[in-house]
Amino acid sequence: MRGLFWILALFALAVLLALGAQLNDGYVLLVFPPWRVELSLNLFGLALVLLFAVLYGVSRGIAQTLALPRRAAEYRARRQREKASLVFQDAVRLLFEGRFGQALKKAAAAHAAGTAPGLSALIAARAAQRMRESGKQRDWMERAKADDPRTEAATLMLEAEMMNEARCFDEALLALEKLQARQGRHIAPLRLELRARQGTGDWDGVLKLVRQLAKRAALAPEVVREIKTQAHLANIARAAGDARQLTTYLRNLPDEERDRRVVLAAVRALAGADGEVQQLIETALDDDNGDSWQSELAAIYGRLSGGDQTARLARAEHWLLRHADDAILLLALGRMCGRQRLWGKAENYLDASLAVAARSETHLELARLFEQLQRQDDANRHYRASALLDVR
């Protein structure tokens, strides 16, 4: 619509000019003594327009001619920038393709051409690190820090990542500390810090970080559970020689982090502290939902000698209602009954355990039981059965 309007306007202007020229009787008299020139006003106007066009064309031609050297220099510089940009893009592509030697060469060329010098140096540093050329890696990292202050955060991130991969975890933590002082604590540095603290054995720091990352949904739930379990296992192993410290640690342990492996490790580390062990095992096995049942805990429970044996036996028999085919639980019940001199129940539980799975230690318990009952032939029979299973 706008184009049609301009066409109509031009036609109207042409008509007006034609009518004006036709009706115009004016003239222009030019006097250059001794000459006199008389021109119509229309011709004079046309001559002025033509003269302006010629002068404008000549002046533009002169200006373009004089500007040729500058324009040629600008063209060459533009072509160099375009080529350098292509080299930089090639460096990024080659780095992702895993062709680190060529990526290093391209990044060095882009850096020399002045194309994103900070990023080019970072790409070269990463390529050198992948090629295990530590000298070049350090050199390019220093160039990245010096060439472009805007890449400081990226430089620190890359440095922390490379230090983690080189297992220089203390240096990685120093780089992350500098980064967090400038950029705050966002997810990517927290992940790197988690890896570094795992490497240094700072398991309390690992637990703190993994809980933060779990709140932000930055790690898969399975990964979170496994990391927490590993951290608790390490802390339990470290405190194994100090029962008081270990007991305090376990009491402060959140219920949702009491993994079956954690409870088993805690029970083994608390050998001798029957009260704490009993409480841990009962809490773990009472909360059993089928998938988390641990026969190993039942076996340890059956060996505990302190406390109220009758109440302990009743609790274990309650577990038997849900796990009637657990040979280890039946063995534990047999031991507990034998400890209370309930010989008949002990024999029944031990026979039931053997019916589920023939185990050397079950035969030994029966042999000891029959010795106490002065049934030597039966005891010898079970001693022989135990020995045969050991040979196998």
User: Is pLDDT at 179 greater than 60 in this prediction?
Assistant: yes
The maximal CA–CA distance of the chain, rounded, in angstroms, is 162
Secondary structure class of 148 (helix, strand, coil): coil
High-pLDDT (> 70) share of the chain, %: 93
The full set of domain ranges for the chain reads: 288-392
Q: What is the CATH number of domain 288-392?
A: 1.25.40.10
Q: Which of 91, 167, 75 is nearest to 125 (CA)?
A: 91
Highest mean pLDDT among 12-16, 112-116, 174-178: 174-178
pLDDT 10s digits, 334-357: 888 888 888 888 889 888 888 888
Q: What are phi and psi of 28, to 5 degrees?
A: -125, 130
Q: What pLDDT is recorded for position 22?
A: 65
What Å distances lie between residue 93 and 88, 122, 125, 281, CA to CA? 9, 14, 15, 56
For the whole model, what pTM was predicted? 0.66
Cα–Cα distance measured from residue 123 to residue 121, given in angstroms and rounded to the nearest whole number: 5
| Mean of pLDDT over the chain | 83
Confidence of residue 253 (pLDDT cuts 50, 70, 90): confident
Check pLDDT > 60 for residue 289.
Answer: no
What pLDDT digit, counting tens, does each position of 6-15 carry?
A: 887 877 777 7
User: CA 17 to CA 362: how far, in whole Å?
Assistant: 122
